[in-house]
């Protein structure tokens, strides 16, 4: 099956559409205006959010004080217990805190900039197939969506998750143009890093992405299947290195894995942050909260305050 791209949309950086016509120059100005206004909207009075979600703020602050806490996404600098999510989002915010000092702004500005990047990437993906006007419209809708504005002004891991998944969708559109293996690998790698932001939720796009490429890529079926397998391996490598290190790290010297009743990273992946999210099963921190309260013991997770 062949795929075609609008003649307007040659392979150029998203900030450099084809020059030469007034309409194209206006498109460039409109894009920069969209990104600038998005940045202003997401950054305006950002410090009013304070620590935002204090649970993740504690992990970010711990990551600015201890590299071990940084790597595991621990809640405290002594690395007693981790958050109930992988640490990629914390890495970004903690690195900002190490450079500029921990504060509400150093923690939340990276989140806002991830939102700006997501808008730009969505524009780039839509533009390649449907033109600049459609790309600008898609970017504007994302920028003005209330839940997006909240998400990119907060310190939950969803901001990085969404930006990486939009980036992977852009890579998929590039892969569909010429059945480019490198773009399939890039899409898989980005999904793998998105896993390190919020685990199995990053994989919700996989059935759609895989089916689209299998049906629409302009190459033979055997090559399409081989490329999808390569993309799956890219996902495994880009997220599996961190999972492997955590799993192999001696349990007596690593922090407790929050969300896992048996201090097992795979239980967190497939239980609390996997099937537990789909079926509502209480195999993670919520269940531990109930059991500990029932026994009159302490609860060490953030779920106790909810």
Distance CA 222, CA 9 (A): 29
Helix (H, G, I), strand (E, B) or coil at 87: coil
DSSP conformation letters of 171-186: HHHHHHHHT-HHHHHH
Examine the pLDDT at 18 and tell me if it is beyond 90: no
The answer to whether residues 275 and 203 touch, using CB atoms and an 8 Å cutoff, is no
Average pLDDT over residues 141-163: 95
pTM: predicted TM-score of the whole model, two decimal places: 0.85
Task: Give the gyration radius of the chain's Cα atoms.
Answer: 21
User: What is the per-residue pLDDT for 284?
Assistant: 45
Examine the pLDDT at 53 and tell me if it is beyond 80: yes
| DSSP letter, residue 304 | G
Backbone angles phi, psi at 81, to 5 degrees: -150, 145
Examine the pLDDT at 244 and tell me if it is beyond 80: yes
* β partners of residue 81: 256
Distance CA 252, CA 254 (A): 6
Average pLDDT over residues 34-59: 94
> How do the domains of the chain map onto residue ranges?
22-248, 265-305
Instruction: Label residue 299 by pLDDT band (50, 70, 90).
Output: very low
Average pLDDT over residues 253-266: 89
Closest CA to 259 of 279, 277, 283, 285: 285
The answer to whether residues 158 and 198 touch, using CB atoms and an 8 Å cutoff, is yes
Q: Which one has a higher pLDDT value, 204 or 7?
A: 204
Average pLDDT over residues 3-30: 63
What angle (nearest 5°) sits at the alpha carbon of residue 58, between those of residues 235 and 105?
A: 90
Token pair of 42 as six digits: 């997401």
Instruction: Label residue 82 by pLDDT band (50, 70, 90).
Output: very high
Closest CA to 73 of 259, 215, 201: 259
What angle (nearest 5°) sits at the alpha carbon of residue 160, between those of residues 183 and 148?
A: 110
User: What is the per-residue pLDDT for 4?
Assistant: 52
Average pLDDT over residues 4-32: 66
Distance CA 171, CA 182 (A): 9
User: What is the per-residue pLDDT for 63?
Assistant: 96
User: What is the per-residue pLDDT for 5?
Assistant: 54
Share of the chain above pLDDT 70, in %: 84
User: What is the per-residue pLDDT for 218?
Assistant: 95
Closest CA to 195 of 87, 43, 91, 78: 87
């Amino acid at each position: 099956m062949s795929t075609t791209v609008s003649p307007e949309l040659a392979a150029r950086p998203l900030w450099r559409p084809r020059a030469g016509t007034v309409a194209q120059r206006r498109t460039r100005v409109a894009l920069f205006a969209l990104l600038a206004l998005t940045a202003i909207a997401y950054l305006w009075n950002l410090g009013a959010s304070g620590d935002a979600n204090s649970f993740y703020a504690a992990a970010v602050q711990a990551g600015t004080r201890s590299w071990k806490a940084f790597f595991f996404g621990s809640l405290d600098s002594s690395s007693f217990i981790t958050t109930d999510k992988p640490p990629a989002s914390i890495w970004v915010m903690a690195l900002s805190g190490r450079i500029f000092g921990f504060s509400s702004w150093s923690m939340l500005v990276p989140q806002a900039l991830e939102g700006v990047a997501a808008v730009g990437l969505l524009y780039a993906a839509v533009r390649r197939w449907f033109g600049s006007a459609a790309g600008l419209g898609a970017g504007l809708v994302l920028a003005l969506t209330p839940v997006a504005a909240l998400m990119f002004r907060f310190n939950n891991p969803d901001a990085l998750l969404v930006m990486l998944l939009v980036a992977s969708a852009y890579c998929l559109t590039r892969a569909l143009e010429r059945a480019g293996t490198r773009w399939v690998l890039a899409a898989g790698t980005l999904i793998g890093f998105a896993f390190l932001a919020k685990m199995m939720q990053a994989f919700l796009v996989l059935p759609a992405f895989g089916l689209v490429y299998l049906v629409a890529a302009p190459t033979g079926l055997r090559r399409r299947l081989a490329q999808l397998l390569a993309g799956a391996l890219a996902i495994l490598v880009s997220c599996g290195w961190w999972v492997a290190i955590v799993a192999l790290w001696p349990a007596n010297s690593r922090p407790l894995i929050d969300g896992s009743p048996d201090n097992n990273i795979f239980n967190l992946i497939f239980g609390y942050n996997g099937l537990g999210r789909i079926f509502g099963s209480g195999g993670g921190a919520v269940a531990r909260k109930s059991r500990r309260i029932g026994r009159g013991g302490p609860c060490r997770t953030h779920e106790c305050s909810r």
